[in-house]
Amino acid sequence: MDKRPEAHFKKPRMEHTKIKHHLFSETLKVSLYIANNMARNNKYMNFDSYAYIDLFAGSGKFKDDSKGSPLIAVDIAANHLKYKGNVFNKIDLIFIEKDKQNADDLKKNVGLELKKYNLEILKNLRVQIGDESWEKYDIEKILNGSTWGFIFADPFSTELKLDNLKTTLKNCSKYKDILIFANFNTLARQYARGHNNDIQRICEFLGISENKLQENIDFPETFIELLKNKFKSIKDFSIGVAIPISVEQKLRAMDYFYLVLFTSSVMVGNMFLESYEKEIEQYRSKEKSLFCNQDDEPLLGLIKENKELSLYKIWEYYQQNFLSWKKIVNDSNLRVPTLKNITDIINNFKNNCLLEIVADEKYFYKKSKNKIGNIKPNDIRSMHDLKSIKIKNK
């Protein structure tokens, strides 16, 4: 990766960036889709808009014409407005990029992208491009103008101050999803150098004092925990995944970058995990299974210890740590904790008479004989569903 933000987009898009953009794209799509359905089904309030904000937008395009997050967001929003079931009168896209050269390129690239769509679409698609630091914009006011939304923070290094973002979102985050990209390799290098400026930047990024950083440092665990817990008070789920690095256009199976989703939507969180699983499957050997061995699965011990757990607590348990790209790719017993994978484990143990599932019949398969009494992961839509399914020790 180039060390200068203005030069980053002058090169072809790297393999690890493709992974990041795929996760970003699929998560934004489902966030918009779910918000649309919730708005349509609410008969008592008029929620007619959706706001997407990119705090570090970049230039929007790479040297090989691959699209960056702003152009991806334009396409997703425009295609949603074509959707017959769309209920939003407008979708606001706010792209912020403080680097002047990148901001100028972004305006040009977004303008060219918008020309692909007809006037009927464009009248409901409002695009704003800012060329200063995101802290200089009234993000809270923008977000409060729309019930639904998505915030993407993809800083080049340590430009993001998490406490500033948390303060901004504190009163307007209920129906907004937050996705943050973090270059933990950069943080590790800065910490190892130990220069005062480097330490200060890390502290500002994580929102902690220098004393606390020095007392509690355990890289990468401390950084990961601090990041995941930062938005715990305003969002129900924090799901973090590691992304590898590209060297000479080839991926190295190591945990180099981290992408963290903060959401209160089970479906948004699950799509994020499913997208991560798809990316990992491309790099695993075909003979390796996504199903773990019974003896290696911690769920049975967890159930025995607690006697009974809701599916909500089990899902939360599997997400408590960052998912390691390196470990999952190289260990056939590990799997991404999507709802399907977790319910597959539960159903398998239930069919082997190792545990019991207690839930309303609407959550179970009915038609196929070999599926009778097994949980239907596709019918789990909300936190209420997760909490209503109980798993008991037998």
- Where does the chain hold its CATH 3.40.50.150 domain(s)? 5-281
In this model, does residue 23 exceed pLDDT 60? yes
d(CA 163, CA 151): 15
Q: Are 264 and 239 in contact (CB under 8 A)?
A: no
Burial class (CB in 10 A: 0-12, 13-18, 19+), 302: middle
What's the pLDDT at 333?
Answer: 76
Q: Are 224 and 180 in contact (CB under 8 A)?
A: no
In this model, does residue 167 exceed pLDDT 80? yes
CA distances from 29 to 15, 102, 292, 314 (A): 21, 25, 30, 26
According to the per-residue pLDDT averaged within each range, which of 7-11, 208-212, 305-309, 329-333 is highest?
Answer: 305-309
Output phi, psi for 18, to 5 deg.
-60, -40
Q: At 330, which amino acid appears?
A: N
Write out the DSSP string of 98-157. Answer: -SHHHHHHHHHHHHHHHTTS-HHHHTTEEEEEE-S-GGGS-HHHHHHT-SEEEEEE--SS
Lowest mean pLDDT among 22-31, 61-70, 239-248, 256-265: 239-248
Q: What angle do CA 39, 259, 216 make, to 5 degrees?
A: 120
Summarize pLDDT for 122-157 with one digit per residue, the tens: 999 999 999 999 999 999 998 988 889 999 999 988
Summarize pLDDT for 198-251 with one digit per residue, the tens: 888 888 888 888 887 776 566 666 777 788 888 888 999 999 999 998 887 788
Instruction: Give residue 287's pLDDT band: very low, low, confident or very high (50, 70, 90).
Output: very low
What's the pLDDT at 153?
Answer: 96
What's the pLDDT at 45?
Answer: 60
What's the pLDDT at 366?
Answer: 73
Query: Which CATH code fits 5-281?
Result: 3.40.50.150
Q: What percent of the chain has pLDDT over 70?
A: 90
Residue burial 199-223, b: 16+ Cβ < 10 Å; e: rest: bebbbbbbbbeeeebeeeeeebebb
